[in-house]
Amino acid sequence: MAAWSERLAGVRGVLLDISGVLYDGGEGGGAAIAGSVEAVARLKRSRLKVRFCTNESQKSRADLVGLLRRLGFDVSEGEVTAPAPAACLILKQRGLRPHLLVHDGVRSEFDQIDTSNPNCVVIADAGEDFSYRNMNKAFQVLMELENPVLFSLGKGRYYKETSGLMLDVGPYMKALEYACGIEAEVVGKPSPEFFKSALQEMGVEAHEAIMIGDDIVGDVGGAQQYGMRALQVRTGKFR
């Protein structure tokens, strides 16, 4: 087995997942994972470029950064690549008006987006708002469209909070795909466009970067398919 120095040769940038890598969410905002605050600080003192790449879709980017800073992390909003702002850019570029099935905590990200007379659906980790009524409304909007478009902010199966494992957006995305006979466009990991955007912000090429995450599919698999190196931590959803 190659030594770490060989495996990491040529690496200029590190992409860090947040949930399950830096902290576990939960009551009172959650808790930092042991050693993570110090690890981020060491990375930032090194010659490596550091960026945070998350599928978090229950909080706005500003609220997420505020939480991380309260937990002791040195992070700014401009260092975070998140799916909601990326989705807004796509919606504006394509002239789409979404029906939003999202958590109230991230709804502010869409304040500048026209949601009247929707011609697509955006689904995110809506938590307790994943009721039959809300899922059925999203289904109805899609079925009334001649060319239904469904965006999903990530497609994770589950994640870990301090109280245990929690269902993520993926199972609900799959339900709408099955019911409507369509395939969702994923905004977030493991989408190649999402990794591309994060790397462009860092100014490094895929072969010069490593992704660190707890999700073997979204973090590790997605990064490797895009040509990056990847490392799975034994925290968060790791089993």
Ordered by start, the domain boundaries in the chain are 83-187
HSE (side-chain half, CA atoms, 13 Å) at 67:
22
Instruction: Tell me if the pTM is above 0.85.
Output: yes
Residue 141 has pLDDT above 60, yes or no: yes
Q: pLDDT per residue over 169-200, tens digit each? A: 999 999 999 999 999 999 999 999 999 999 99
Q: Residue 7: what pLDDT?
A: 77
* Integer Cα distance of 114 and 189 in angstroms: 25
Question: What mean pLDDT do residues 75-93 have?
Answer: 97
For residue 102, what pLDDT band results from cuts at 50, 70 and 90?
very high
Considering the domain 83-187 in this protein, what is its CATH number? 3.40.50.1000
Lowest-pLDDT range, 4-13, 41-50, 66-75, 177-186? 4-13
Q: Residue 237: what pLDDT?
A: 92
CA of residue 15 relative to chain centroid, distance: 12
Q: Residue 41: what pLDDT?
A: 97
Residue 1 has pLDDT above 70, yes or no: no
Question: What mean pLDDT do residues 115-138 have?
Answer: 97
- Name the percent of the chain lying above pLDDT 70: 98
> Is 219 within 8 Å of 191 (Cβ atoms)?
no
Nearest to 222 by CA among 185, 192, 184: 192
Question: What mean pLDDT do residues 41-59 have?
Answer: 96
> Is 59 within 8 Å of 67 (Cβ atoms)?
yes
* Integer Cα distance of 122 and 157 in angstroms: 17
Tell me the pLDDT of the chain averaged across its residues: 96
